[in-house]
């Protein structure tokens, strides 16, 4: 088999272009995941703020998340671990720095946003029985009930 220099060079170029194309597709898919997670966090914050500003209410919401994320968790690191999700407590503490109360599990599955702070939630009541309080991601969907009773200052989150 005799191949000319031009043919070998063309084959090398084709391999380089195909490699670059697959790399670009992977980057776009990761960007989609990151945007989906960012949109989820923003929608959750907005819904909690709306409920917090109201005098009372209860609202069930469904959010879309990438399937790589198994759970979303609310953790109070000012109290002890308890309940059925205690194995996640120390794992999530790796991305806890100071004010975070909301985490994605497993760590790294959200491609960038591993933890953040959700304001105006009653973290003590949410994590009263389970700390961390985790909600499972079922086929890319998370169902959350946001509740605020008359006279309460903060929003409660239930599964």
pLDDT tens profile 83-136:
888 888 888 888 888 889 999 998 888 878 889 999 999 999 999 999 889 999
Closest CA to 49 of 159, 154, 158: 154
Structural domain including 76 reads 5-158
How confident is residue 1, by pLDDT bands cut at 50, 70 and 90?
Answer: low
| Three-state secondary-structure class, residue 69 | coil
**Dist. CA 72–CA 69, nearest whole Å:** 8
Claim: this prediction has a pTM higher than 0.85 = no
Phi, psi of 25 (to 5 degrees): -65, -40
**By the 8 A CB rule, do 133 and 101 touch?**
no
Share of the chain above pLDDT 90, in %: 52
What is the per-residue pLDDT across 55-78, written as a single tens digit (0 to 9) for each? Answer: 899 999 999 999 999 999 999 998
Closest to 95 measured CA to CA, from 62, 80, 117: 117
Tell me the C-alpha distance between 25 and 131, whole Å: 39
Start-to-end C-alpha separation, the chain: 67
Q: What is the largest CA-CA distance in the chain?
A: 85
Average pLDDT for 1-16: 85
Distance in angstroms (rounded) separating the CA atoms of residues 53 and 155: 10
- CB 150, CB 48: distance < 8 Å: no
State the total domains in the chain: 1
Rounded to whole angstroms, the Cα distance separating 96 from 52 reads 25
């Amino acid at each position: 088999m005799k191949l000319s220099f031009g043919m070998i060079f063309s084959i090398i170029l084709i391999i380089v272009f195909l490699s670059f194309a697959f790399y670009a597709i992977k980057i776009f898919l990761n960007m989609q995941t990151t945007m989906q997670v960012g949109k989820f966090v923003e929608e959750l914050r907005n819904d909690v703020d709306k409920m917090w500003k109201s005098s009372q209410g209860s609202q069930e919401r469904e959010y879309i998340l990438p399937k790589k994320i198994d759970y979303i968790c609310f953790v109070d690191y000012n109290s002890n671990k308890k309940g059925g999700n205690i194995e996640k407590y120390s794992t999530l503490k790796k991305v806890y720095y100071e004010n975070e109360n909301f985490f994605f599990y497993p760590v790294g599955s959200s491609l960038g946003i591993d933890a953040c702070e959700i304001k105006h939630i009653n973290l003590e009541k949410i994590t009263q029985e389970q700390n961390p309080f985790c909600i499972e991601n079922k086929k890319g969907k998370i169902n959350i009930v946001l509740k605020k009773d008359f006279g309460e200052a903060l929003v409660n989150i239930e599964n």
